[in-house]
Amino acid sequence: MIDVKRASAPAALETKGRRRIALFAMKGEYVAILSIVTGLVTWQILSDYLVANSLFLASPTQVLNALVALSVSGELWPHFGTSAIEFLLGYAIASILGIAIGLLIATSPFWKSWCQPWISGLYATPTVALAPLFILWLGIGIWSKILVVILLVIFAVIINTEAGIRSTSERYLEMMRSFGATKRQLFLKVSLPSATPFILAGLKLGIGRGLIGVVVAELYGSRLGLGRLIGQSADSFNMPDLFAAVTILAASGISMTMAFSKLEARLVPWTKD
């Protein structure tokens, strides 16, 4: 009897320990999914029982219903389309200009000194605060929003591009020089590829900043756009519609960032693993 007890006690401890470890040893993806599900359930319970007043919070199911209703009625699409155009145009312009300016200041000390105070100053400034001014200048249409997006995205791109070129390993440059590389060849065959991961990181950072720009600028004054939908819904205490618009923005941000990570894995595989 005594022997059996002695033998079983550690065994029981072991199973308990193993079960505890099993939860923490789950694969990362499963933990993430579990975390999202827990969050949604908590949100649902909170809005059903604690903040039951739908003037202040909408439950996930209400948001889903609102999403379906908005898309079926067709009310969503002009808002979505307008914001998408504002974001994409502003983002594209900021990317092209940002990379160009970044390359220019990385290769020319004069232009670097010339631009640096503006870049440092404007990167740190919450330029969205200028949105009312831009609306005054450019009107209530898409171009005032595009300008805000450009201002929010471009400095992240410039700074990253410049840092990427500047951080090119001197060893690679010297190796290429030993083979008689010209300045142009050094730039095209070493600096540019070695800066690519940085440029992509800047562009990725720009996605979130650009989305903020679109929404905030639209809140200041617009006829269409997801920001407009949010403002309109807030004014009429329509929480499901408000959350529906936010959900679309979040989903766009997440999917664009994920697509970007895929692109990075293809374009700059050497920075991984």
Partner 1 sequence: MPTHKLASRSLMKRFGDLAVLHDISVAIDDGEFVALVGPSGCGKTTFLRIVSGLESADSGSISVDGAIVAGPGRDRGFVFQSDCLLPWRSVLDNTLVGLELAGRIGAADLERTRKLLSLVGLAGFESYFPRQLSGGMRQRVNLARALAIDPKILLMDEPFSALDAQTREIMQGELQRIWEEGRKTVLFVTHQIDEAVFLSDRVLVFARRPGRILEDVQIDLPRPRTLATKREPAFVALVDHIWRLIEHDVRESVLLEHR
Chain contacts with partner 1 (rule: CB under 8 A): 171-172, 174-182, 185, 189-190, 193-194, 196, 268-270, 273
Tell me how far, at minimum, the Cβ of 63 lies from partner 1, in Å: 44
Angle, in degrees to the nearest 10, between helices 60-73 and 239-267: 90
Which residue is it, tokens 């617009």?
222
Tell me how far, at minimum, the Cβ of 174 lies from partner 1, in Å: 6
Angle, in degrees to the nearest 10, between helices 76-107 and 192-220: 140
Distance CA 217, CA 132 (A): 8
Is the CB of 82 or the CB of 194 nearer to partner 1? Answer: 194
Is the CB of 65 or the CB of 167 nearer to partner 1? Answer: 167
Which residue is it, tokens 């999914």?
33
Contact 67, 247 (CB under 8 A): yes
Tell me how far, at minimum, the Cβ of 189 lies from partner 1, in Å: 8
Tell me how far, at minimum, the Cβ of 184 lies from partner 1, in Å: 11
Is the CB of 109 or the CB of 180 nearer to partner 1? Answer: 180
Tell me how far, at minimum, the Cβ of 213 lies from partner 1, in Å: 32
Is the CB of 44 or the CB of 196 nearer to partner 1? Answer: 196
Q: Which of 102, 91, 115, 101 is nearest to 163 (CA)?
A: 102
Distance CA 117, CA 85 (A): 31
Is the CB of 3 or the CB of 273 nearer to partner 1? Answer: 273
- Residue 134 CB coordination number (10 Å): 21
Distance CA 200, CA 157 (A): 8
- Residue 8 CB coordination number (10 Å): 10
Is the CB of 166 or the CB of 177 nearer to partner 1? Answer: 177
Tell me how far, at minimum, the Cβ of 61 lies from partner 1, in Å: 48
